[in-house]
Chain A
């Protein structure tokens, strides 16, 4: 095998070694088993009662309140960055926005991404806040009830 043919292989391998840890290292899903939802399900309604004269106006929105309680004891007295992650999943693109009571940061994201909700020193074993979530989904994707999963992630510093 000539050096020219080998080079791309080593190049790709090198990128893999360098980039893979940057994307995933020390990112840990946080125990949120202490969280609870106020409502058992999120009722999705048309964002606007009326459709438009074109194909727009098909967005459905629904809100729910979650009392978030995450266990950050493993990172106590350390600094970290906590993200809210909404993986890409069925039924398709999902938008999520939320407000908080101040413990976490408000924000918004589209499925397949994560957004920072806390950065700093972990000073208590548990972190709590009440989040008001609003989900937005294209009504064309909402033929029936669908489960949507999200979680919190810790990036240690």
Chain B
């Protein structure tokens, strides 16, 4: 048994009659006897980022959806899946300037916060996460995308990554409920480099649904073009 730290105590004996007057004066001042407990933050900082599919441990069955999520007690674990977003163009449409909607192989549709039917798959890609820290609000954690210069077909053909853009949304996201503007807004990829794609204020869950499209203003040769974008979260 370990005694907690204490304030300095004045005197060894509990009041004799002769010293009662003095003791009462001390008591009125409010500090003669007191117990001090030290509240210590334990493992306070945490970050989590999910783009596409994610995995939560625990039988959570969020809101009866069958999905796992945090608010029902799920714990996130690493998921190494790299989801794809793709589109197949008919020859006649190549380079005609009409943007082509892309689809994803991600199956993440429900919010990983509470299981709410948030994204529409395969049209949208889920992105979500949080940044936990104690103390006053800090600068937001940044989410960046490291983008190659171009998609390649393996035989020398390229398509600039700037041919791909995305819009951001989510079922139920309105200004009235405070979910707009989206924390992961729409944008267009740069042609090689690191670009910021969103930020997370501390101690809030952040999520959006991205709808990608191919701008279709380039005229590459026929082929299968691909490239990988790496999303990184950096906390203060």
Contact = CB atoms under 8 A, between A and B. Distances in A.
Interface of A: 24, 27-33, 35-46, 48-55, 57-58, 60, 62, 64, 66-67, 71, 73-74, 87, 133, 135, 137, 139-152
Contacts of B2: 36-40
A89 B62 CA distance: 40
B176 interface: no
Given A36-B1, A37-B2, A146 B113 contact: no
B201 to A, nearest CB: 8
A71 B14 contact: yes
Contacts, number: 164
A43 B203 CA distance: 19
B169 to A, nearest CB: 15
29 contacts: A28-B23, A28-B24, A29-B26, A29-B31, A31-B33, A33-B6, A37-B1, A38-B2, A40-B38, A41-B4, A41-B39, A41-B40, A42-B37, A42-B38, A43-B42, A44-B39, A50-B130, A51-B132, A51-B205, A57-B205, A60-B41, A74-B15, A74-B20, A140-B203, A143-B134, A144-B41, A146-B39, A147-B36, A150-B37
B43 interface: yes
Contact of A140 (B14, B130, B137, B206): B137
Interface in B104-157: 113, 130, 132, 134-137
Contacts of B132: 46, 51
B126 to A, nearest CB: 14
Nearest to B16: A74
A42 B40 contact: yes
A146 to B, nearest CB: 5
Closest 3 CB pairs of A and B: A143-B135, A50-B70, A37-B4
Contacts of A62: 39-40, 42
B236 interface: no
Contacts of A143: 41, 134-136
B61 to A, nearest CB: 16
B1 to A, nearest CB: 5
A139 B130 CA distance: 15
Given A36-B3, A67-B1, A50 B38 contact: no
Given A36-B3, A51-B132, A140-B134, A145 B39 contact: yes
A73 B32 contact: no
Given A37-B3, A140-B136, A52 B205 contact: yes
A149 B134 contact: no
Interface string B173-211: 000001100000000000000000000010111110000
Contacts of B15: 74
Contacts of A31: 14, 33
A54 B178 contact: yes
Contacts of A87: 30
Contacts of A27: 27-28
A29 B27 CA distance: 5
Contacts of A139: 41, 44, 134-135, 203
B137 A147 contact: no
B135 A42 contact: no
B9 A33 contact: yes
